[in-house]
Structures are given as C-alpha cells and as structure tokens.
Structure 1
Amino acid sequence: MQTVLLLAVEAASEISEAAEGGGFGINSDILETNLINLLIIIGVLIYFGRGFLGKTLGDRRAKIEAAIEDAEKRKKEAAAALADQQQKLAQAQAEANRIRAAAEESAKAARASILAQAEQDIERMRATAAQDLTSQQERVIRELRQRVVALAMQQVEQRLQSGLNPEAQQQLIDRSIAMLGGAQ
C-alpha cells in the first residue's frame, strides 16, 4: 500500500511540474474541476443518453397512457355493469312487491273463504244441535207419556183389583160389550 501512495505522490509532483511548464496537467482547484467535470458528464449524457433516455421516457409514457386507457375502459365497463345490476335489482324489487301484493290478496281471499266456511259450519252445527234437541225432547216426552200411561194403568189395575167384586166386574163387562155392540 505504501507503494501505491508513493506512486501517487510522484505522479502528482510530475503533473504539477508539467502544468507549470505549460503542458497538460491536472487542475488542483476542486471547485473549478468539479464544475468542468460536471459539465463534461452532463454533455456526454445529453449527447449519448438522449436517444436512450428519450426512448425510455417514451416507453414509460406509452405504458402510462395504456394503463390510463385501460383503467378508463374498465371504469366504463364497471359503470355499465353497475347500471345493469341496479336495473336488475329494481326489477327484482318490483317483482318482489308484486309477489307480496299477490300473496296478501291471496291471504285475504283465503281468510274470507275460511271465515265463510266457519260461519257455514257454525250454522250447520246449530241446526244439527237444534234438531238433536227437538228429537231428544220428543223422545223424552214420548217416554214420559208411556210412563204416565203405564203408571195410570198400574193404578187402575190396583184399584180394580181391590175395589171390584164379582158383581161389579159383571156389570163392567156387560157395559163394555154393549158399547162394542153399539159401536158396530
């Protein structure tokens, strides 16, 4: 490493001697040399890099424009799809409202029909109950009559047996025959 430093110091001293003598040399003023070096680098970049940089920037611009156009195209497609879906949603809501209204009407009709059928069933039950009640009353009245007749007959038989002597029985038989004979 010392060798490299020694060579660099010798080269610098030779260059400074040559510069003093009016030949080619290195300017040791840092501000002046940086400005010149920067101008040289910028000039080389502009001269040689113009085509490359222009092409790169042009490609980049074309890609950005294509991306913007693609995004606008997708935005339009999304807006169209959104409008289509909104229209389908509106149609579905209208259909749902129509179905709901039809169901309500059907429910009202079914309710009215059920109420009318219930009224008919109630009237039929009332008529059946009234008829059953009437027939039961008639049966009870018939049974009561039969019982009353049976009791009356039993009492008459008891009286007749206890209160009829053979002479009264002969008179009763004669009267009955006379009544039958006269009725013929």
Structure 2
Amino acid sequence: MIKLKKHWILNLAETNLVNLTILISLIVYFGKQFLTTTLQSRQQRVITALQEAEDKLQKASARLSESEKQLAQTQLVIEQVTEEASKTAQKVKDLIMIQGKLEVERLTKSSQDNIKNAEFQIRKKIQQQISTLAIERVTLDLKNKMTDSIQSQIIDDNIAKLGGSL
C-alpha cells in the first residue's frame, strides 16, 4: 500500500509537473507574441521619448549657448558704452573748463579794456577842464592886464616875427 501511495504521489507530482510544463509552454507560446509586441511597443515609446528628450536637451543647450553669447556681447557693449560715456563726460568737462577759462580771460580783458578806456576818457575830460580853466584864467588875466600899449607891442612883435613891416 505504501508503494501505491508513492506511485500515486509520484504520478500526481509528475502530472502536475507535466501540466505546469504544458501551461507554461502555452503561456510562453501564446504570450510570447503579445509580450514581444507589448515590450517592443514599450521599447519604441521609450526610445522615442529618449530621442525627444535628447532633441529638447540639444535645443535647450543651443539656446543656452546662444543666450550666453548674447549675454557676453551685451556685457561687452555695456562696457564699451560705459567707457565711451566716461570719455565723453571727461571731454565735455574739459571743454567746459576750457570754455570757462577762455570766458574768464575774455571778461578780464574786456574789463581791463573798459577800465583803460574809462581812464583815458577821465584823463581827456580832466585835460579839457584844465585847458578850459587855464584859457579862462589867461583870458581873465589878459583882460585885467592888457592895455593899449601892451597890445600894440604884442602886435608889433608878432609882425616882426613874421618878417614883415607895417
């Protein structure tokens, strides 16, 4: 009886083993095509997604590189503009200083010329007043001291100087 049980157990184990083998074979045979198609489809989607990601990465890298170039160019332009503005400001400052000095010199010369002109006018006026006063004084003295005999003598002396006689 024990022998029978062992055999039956052995048969049962063999039967299950055979059934499992058949089942696995059927699953592999029929499922292989489904799994292969599914896995290939999945693999294709993954590859496509990877390619798209790589394309996006390349485009993003290219845009980043271009942006970095533009940034460098912009910074260079900013530096040039700043340098030019500084130079221009210095030139304008220097020009204003030169013009200011020239204007001060012109005003100084103009003031000196005006002072000299005023001095000349004042001297001229003083000389005229002195001359006028001297003439008035001489005229007054002559009126007071002039007699007919002195007047005749002056006339005779002047005629003699001219070289003629009366």
Coarse TM-score class (shorter-chain normalised): 0.5 to 0.7
Query: How much does 1:152 deviate?
Result: 3.8
Within the candidate set 59, 82, 85, 1:103 is matched to 85
Within the candidate set 139, 153, 178, 2:135 is matched to 153
Deviations 1:91-133 (A, max 9, x none): 2211221232123223222322232222122212211221121
Unaligned runs of 5+ in 2: 1-19
Task: Give 1:68's aligned residue.
Answer: 50
Task: Give 2:158's aligned residue.
Answer: 180
Task: Give 1:124's aligned residue.
Answer: 106
Cα distance between partner residues in 1 of 2:72 and 2:160? 105
- Partner AA of 1:170 in structure 2: D
1:169 is the counterpart of 2:151 = no
1:52 is the counterpart of 2:31 = no
Unaligned runs of 5+ in 1: 1-38
Name the count of aligned residue pairs. Answer: 140
Secondary structure of the residue that 2:147 maps to in structure 1?
Answer: helix
- Partner AA of 1:173 in structure 2: Q
Query: How much does 1:86 deviate?
Result: 0.4
Identity %: 22
Query: How much does 1:90 deviate?
Result: 0.7
Secondary structure of the residue that 1:55 maps to in structure 2?
Answer: helix
